Amino acid sequence: MTNILITGASQGIGRATAIEAAKKKSFVGINYSKNSDAAESCLEAVKSHGGDGIILKCDVADDIAVKDMFEKFIDKSGTLDGVFNNAGITGPISPIQDLDPADLKLLIDTNVSGAFFVAQETAKIMINQKYGAIVNMSSIAADIGGGGEFIHYAMSKGAIHSLTYGMAKELGKHGIRVNAVAPGLIDTEIHAKAGDASRVDRLMPSVPLGRVGGAEEVAQTVMWLLSEQSSYISGSIVPVSGGR
């Protein structure tokens, strides 16, 4: 059994990844920030698919809470084989001139500082173990810019690209691999939360494959990157975008 911690695991791509991990009999750390019912539902799904796990309430923007989360996970699991550094928000759909500074601060606190805090604690544990695999959650928005809708989100994911490249170079000597997935247009609740439930249908014509992606398709890529099947891959940003 492998031990995998997933931040932002209660919904969307995080939940789908927890279920994929469960199919491989993994012990899964199910992190959530606000929706305890969704976290409980995710744990039930993990168990029904052959895995086990622990629910870990933590706002990743709080560095002290992140340390406590990892301590609780290690107390139960003993080791940390993989981490999916997934927790994040889009912020509201907004052109750059209209974005509220408070929304920008929350976005950066969660997507950049939060991802860094999770990466930092992961590194401490895995350096001591002398092995491990990390997958960061990025986005093709970092490459295409998000103009007119999500420049703020795209900017935050550009930071994840840099975090991934830097960690891979720094941690490779310790036997630790670091990669990222960069999803494109994926059918999850994140679009409605940003204020445009019709966004998937509106943007689908821009996808060369002609369809929207599923959360499970991203999850399967994450699990491959965490597995020994990708043992010589590190420092890569893997698009899961249908060619967009």
pLDDT in tens, 117-176: 999 999 999 999 999 999 999 999 999 998 778 899 999 999 999 999 999 999 999 999
- pLDDT digit string, tens, across residues 16-26: 999 999 999 99
| pLDDT grade for 196, boundaries at 50, 70 and 90 | low
pLDDT, greater one: 7 or 92: 7
> Annotated catalytic residue: which of 32, 131, 153, 165?
153
pLDDT grade for 244, boundaries at 50, 70 and 90:
confident
pLDDT digits (tens, 9 = 90+) for 75-95: 999 999 999 999 999 999 899
pLDDT surpassing 60 at residue 194: no
Report the CATH number of the 3-240 domain: 3.40.50.720
Percent of the chain with pLDDT over 70: 95
Q: Is residue 45 scored above 70 in pLDDT?
A: yes
Strand partners, 84: 6, 135
Buried b (16+ CB within 10 A) or exposed e, 76-91: ebeebbbbbbbbbbbb
Give the confidence band of 206 by pLDDT, cuts at 50, 70, 90: confident
Can you spell out the DSSP letters for 124-187?
Answer: HHHHHHT-EEEEEE--THHHH--TTT-HHHHHHHHHHHHHHHHHHHHHGGGTEEEEEEEE-SB-
Question: Both ends of the chain: CA-CA distance in Å?
Answer: 36
Q: Spell out the residues 6+ positions from residue 81 whose beta carbon is closer than 8 angstroms to its own.
A: 2, 3, 4, 131, 132, 133, 226
153 is catalytic: yes
Q: Could you give the CA distance from residue 63 to residue 67 in angstroms, rounded to a whole number?
A: 6
Strands 3-6 and 132-137: what pairing? unpaired
Task: Break the chain into its structural domains and give their ranges.
Answer: 3-240
Mean pLDDT score of the chain, rounded to an integer?
A: 94
Cα separation of 119 and 115, whole Å?
6
Q: Is the pLDDT of residue 8 over 90?
A: yes
